[in-house]
Amino acid sequence: MLILLAFWALAGLGCGILFADTLNEINVGGFPLGFWFAQQGSIIVFVVLILVFCLVMNRRDLKHHEKIEDEKNQSGGDI
């Protein structure tokens, strides 16, 4: 999760704001890159971040659930 938050900071605060003037020197298509990050790129990154978070956490929950089930079976179901 800390990694995801780091990406959040990098895309939103980093590329969109802190390095925007430098990135603006680069043009991709008709967009200066810093401007693109501020107005489009950061939002796309945010959506992807939450998607990854959902997938990872839900998988972890599933594993955790299985572990509890296992423990239950081993101890004779008295948890």
Partner 1 sequence: MSVTLWTWIFVGLSFSLYLFIAWRSRVRDTKGFYVAGRGVPAHANGMATAADWMSAASFISMAGLISTMGYSGGVYLMGWTGGYVLLALLLAPYLRKSGRYTVPDFVGDRYESNIVRVIAVVCAIFVSFTYVAGQMRGVGVVFARFLERDVNEGVIIGMLIVFVYATLGGMKGITWTQVAQYWVLITAFLIPAIAISIKLTGTPVPQIGLGSTLKESVAGEKGVYLLDKLNQIQTDLGFSSYTDTFVGGWDKANVFFVALALMVGTAGLPHVIVRFYTVRNIKAARWSAFWALLFISLLYLTAPAMAGFARYYMIDSLNGKTENEIPQWFESWQETGLVMWFDDGDGVVRYSAGADNEIFNIKGASPAEIREIIASHATWKATNGAEGIDGRLLMRDRGIAGPDRDIIVLATPEMAGLADWIIAFVAAGGLAAALSTASGLLLVISSSVAHDLYAKIVNPDADEKKKLLVGRATIGVSVVIAGIFGIYPPGFVGQVVAFAFGLAAASFFPVLVLGIFSKRVGTVPAAAGMVVGIGFTGFYIIASVYAGMKPWTFGIFDHGIKPQGIGSIGMLLNFIVTLGLSRICSPPGQAALELIDSVREPEGVGPVIDIEEAMDH
CA atoms 15, 18, 24, 25: torsion sign: negative
Q: Does 26 bind partner 1 (CB under 8 A)?
A: no
Interface pattern 28-67 for partner 1 (x via CB under 8 A): xxxxx-xxx-xxx-xxx-xx-xxx-xx--xx-xx--xx--
Q: Does 76 bind partner 1 (CB under 8 A)?
A: no
Q: Name the minimum Å distance from CB 79 to partner 1.
A: 8
Q: What is the 3-state secondary structure (H, E, C) of 18-74?
A: HCHHHHCCCEECCEEHHHHHHHHHHHHHHHHHHHHHHHHHHHHHHHHHHHHHHHHHH
Q: DSSP 3-state assignment of 17?
A: helix
Residues that bind partner 1 (CB under 8 A): 1, 4-5, 8, 12-13, 16-18, 20-21, 24, 28-32, 34-36, 38-40, 42-44, 46-47, 49-51, 53-54, 57-58, 60-61, 64-65, 68, 79
